[in-house]
């Protein structure tokens, strides 16, 4: 059995600055060894530990979809030691990836269902993975209507802007992009907080599941809206963050009650979460 703590070596292929505050960059990584790439079989919703020799590891959601071959990408917010260093790394440099880790959105259950995605800020990474996955020609027919509410504080803070515009033009996905406020006169999408826009667009809960990812304050105000729309707790799915080290349920720090966020999560239904201590 492989050593589950050993990262696969990868090379940075490209670095894209996503947001106007330059705090979020997307790193495209390619595996140095094809056998590692073959082993790295993941599903949307999973995460990986990004490893920088000399600095350490950080748990980051996988932003690519398994339908995108030949590379994986991660969008990283600049907050600490490893992420600051990462933001200064350039294409061509070698780092490591360990994973895939954790569970994923319940794709087996979502099959044949309408999917409502509600995202805020930079928590849109595994949601991007999910959208790309569902929109893939081989997968699109497996899902019903797809609706997306995605918001950021301002237009410049939205992730993946080109793709958002592309999805806006498609007929097989209902996009509701929003910003908290803007003085950009050319802004052609919604203005308003994510919970308010969700309420206004009122995606049907009929045969539907909601996937919600975002800052705690957004989640807090979005959950009652979804409940009002008729989503029961077992059909509201979210993904949590925690300080992690091992990523495989051993080192002991990321538990909420009995559950390790790294191994038993990061994806939980609201039903499951409501049975756990409120400590996250």
Partner 1 sequence: MAERYISKEKFTRILDRLMSRYRVYGPVFGGMYHDFEVLKEAGDADLSFRNTRLSPKGLLHPHSERMFEYSLAKDDPEAGIVKEAAKEYPATLILGIRPCDARAFQLVELNYVTEAFQDPWWRNRRKAAVLVGLACNEPCESCFCTTAGTGPFDETGLDILLVDVGTGYVARAVSKEGGTLLGSMEGDAVPSDLTEESARLQRKAEGQLGKQFNVDDLKSKTVSELFNAPFWDEVQFSCINCGTCTFLCPTCWCFDIQDEVYKERGDRIRIWDSCMFPLFTHHGSGHNPRAQKLQRVRQRFMHKLKYYPEKYKDGIACVGCGRCVKHCPVNIDIRHVARLMSTSCTCPA
Our finding on whether 24 is near partner 1 (CB under 8 A) is no
Task: Check if the beta carbon of residue 199 is closer than 8 Å to that of residue 169.
Answer: no
User: Judging by beta carbons within 10 Å of its beta carbon (0-12, 13-18, 19+), is residue 124 exposed, middle or buried?
Assistant: buried
- Whose tokens are 């999805």? That residue is 167
Question: According to the binding rule CB under 8 A, does residue 95 interact with partner 1?
Answer: yes
Q: Which stretches within the chain are classed as H helix?
A: 34-39, 81-87, 107-110, 125-135, 161-169, 194-201, 216-228, 270-274
E strands, the chain, in order = 8-17, 24-31, 47-52, 56-61, 72-77, 94-101, 114-120, 146-152, 174-179, 190-191, 208-213, 236-239, 255-256, 259-260, 267-269
Q: How far is the CB of 80 from partner 1 (least distance, A)?
A: 4
Residues 111, 138: Cα–Cα separation, whole Å: 13
- Pick the binder of partner 1 from 24, 48, 58, 197 (CB under 8 A): 58
Binding segment (CB under 8 A) for partner 1, from list 1-9, 64-72, 112-120, 139-147: 1-9
Task: By CB under 8 A, name the one of 37, 68, 145, 241 that touches partner 1.
Answer: 241
Q: How many residues bind partner 1 (CB under 8 A)?
A: 45
**Closer CB to partner 1, 58 or 115, in the complex:** 58
Chain position carrying tokens 């790295």: 40
Near partner 1 by CB under 8 A, which window of 110-118, 141-149, 220-228, 254-262? 254-262
User: Minimum distance from CB of 280 to partner 1 (Å)?
Assistant: 5
Q: Any idea how long the chain is?
A: 280
Contact between 61 and partner 1 (CB under 8 A)? no
Q: 3-class SS at 141?
A: helix
Is residue 257 a contact residue for partner 1 (CB under 8 A)?
yes
Q: Which of 71, 113, 248, 272 forms a contact with partner 1 (CB under 8 A)?
A: 248
Alpha-carbon distance of 244 to 279, in angstroms, equals: 15
Of 96 and 214, the one with the shorter C-beta distance to partner 1 is 96
Is 243 near partner 1 (CB under 8 A)?
Answer: yes
- Near partner 1 by CB under 8 A: residue from 1, 162, 183, 185: 1
CA 256/CA 47 separation, integer angstroms: 18
Instruction: Supply the minimum distance, in Å, between the C-beta of residue 234 and partner 1.
Output: 18
Binding site for partner 1 (CB under 8 A): 1, 3-7, 9, 32, 51-58, 79-80, 83, 93-96, 241-243, 245-246, 248-258, 263, 275-277, 279-280
């Amino acid at each position: 059995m492989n050593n589950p703590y050993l990262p696969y070596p990868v090379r940075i292929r490209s670095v894209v600055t996503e947001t106007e505050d330059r705090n979020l960059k997307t790193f495209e990584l390619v595996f140095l060894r094809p056998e590692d790439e073959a082993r790295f079989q993941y599903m949307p919703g999973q995460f990986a530990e990004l490893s920088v020799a000399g600095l350490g590891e950080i748990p980051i959601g996988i932003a690519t979809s398994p339908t995108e071959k030949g590379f994986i990408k991660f969008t990283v917010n600049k907050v600490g030691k490893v992420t600051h260093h990462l933001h200064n790394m350039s294409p061509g440099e070698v780092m490591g990836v360990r994973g895939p880790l954790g569970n994923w959105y319940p794709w087996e259950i979502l099959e044949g269902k309408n999917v409502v995605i509600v995202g805020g800020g930079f928590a849109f990474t595994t949601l991007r993975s999910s959208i790309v996955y569902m929109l893939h020609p081989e997968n699109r027919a497996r899902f019903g209507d797809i609706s997306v509410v995605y918001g950021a504080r301002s237009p410049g803070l939205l992730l993946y802007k080109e793709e958002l515009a592309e999805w806006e033009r498609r007929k097989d996905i209902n996009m509701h992009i929003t910003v908290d406020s803007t003085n950009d006169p050319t802004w052609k999408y919604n203005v308003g907080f994510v919970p308010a826009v969700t309420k206004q667009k009122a995606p049907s809960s009929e045969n539907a599941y909601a996937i919600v990812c975002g800052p705690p304050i957004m989640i807090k105000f979005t959950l009652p809206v979804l409940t009002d729309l008729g989503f029961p707790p077992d059909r509201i799915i979210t993904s949590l963050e925690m300080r992690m080290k091992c990523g495989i349920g051993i080192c002991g720090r990321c538990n909420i009650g009995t559950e390790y966020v790294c191994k038993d999560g990061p994806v939980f239904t609201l039903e499951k979460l409501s049975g756990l201590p409120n400590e996250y």
